[in-house]
Amino acid sequence: MNFKQSVGAALIAGLATVVSTTAFAQSSSIEPQSAQSLGAQRQALGLLMKPMSVDYQQTRLEAVLKNIADVTGAPLMVLWQDDRNPVGLDKDALISFRALDQTALTVLDGVLAQSGGPVSGGGSSWQMTEGGMIEVGPKERLNRTRRLEIYDISDLLLEIQDYNNVPQFDLNSALQSSGGGGSGSSPFSGGQQNTQNTGKPEQERADEVIRLIVEQIEPDQWTNNGGSAATVRYFKKQLLVTAPDYIQRQINGYPFWPAEQTRIDQDKTGRRVTLLPSQSPRVVQTAKVTPSKSAPAPAPATGSPTAPPTNAETK
Q: Is residue 146 a contact partner of residue 139, using CB atoms and an 8 Å limit?
A: no
The CA-to-CA distance between both ends of the chain, in Å, stands at 38
Distance of CA 3 to the CA centre of its chain: 10
Q: What average pLDDT does the structure give for the chain?
A: 79
pLDDT tens across 66-96, in order?
999 999 999 999 999 999 999 999 999 999 9
- CA–CA separation, 17 vs 28, rounded Å? 29
**pLDDT score of 294:** 56
SS3 category, 237: coil
Say which residue, 191 or 80, is predicted with more confidence: 80
DSSP annotation of 78 = E
CA distances from 77 to 115, 127, 129, 173 (A): 15, 10, 10, 79
pLDDT in tens, 102-114: 999 999 999 999 9
Most confident listed range (1-15, 163-177, 208-222): 208-222
pLDDT band of residue 295 (cuts 50, 70, 90) is: low
Provide the pLDDT for residue 263: 87
CA dist., res. 254 & res. 247, Å (int)? 11
Show me where the domains of the chain are located. Answer: 3-157+199-314, 162-196
The residue with greater pLDDT, 277 or 17, is 277
- Angstrom distance (rounded) from CA 73 to CA 146: 26
Predicted structure pTM score: 0.72
The Cα–Cα gap between 124 and 143 comes to 11
**Which of 212, 209, 164 lies closest to 191 in space, CA to CA?**
164
What pLDDT, on the 0 to 100 scale, is given for residue 270?
Answer: 73
Q: Which residues contact 14 (CB under 8 A, 6 or more apart)?
A: none
What pLDDT does residue 94 have? 96
Contact 262, 273 (CB under 8 A): yes
Residues 278 and 50 sit within 8 Å (Cβ to Cβ): no
**Rounded Cα distance, 135 and 243, in Å:** 15
Asked whether the predicted pLDDT for residue 210 surpasses 70, the reply is yes
**Beta carbons of 84 and 128 less than 8 angstroms apart:** no
Strand partners, 194: 165
Question: For position 255, what pLDDT does the model report?
Answer: 87
| Residues 123, 114: Cα–Cα separation, whole Å | 9
Contact 128, 253 (CB under 8 A): no
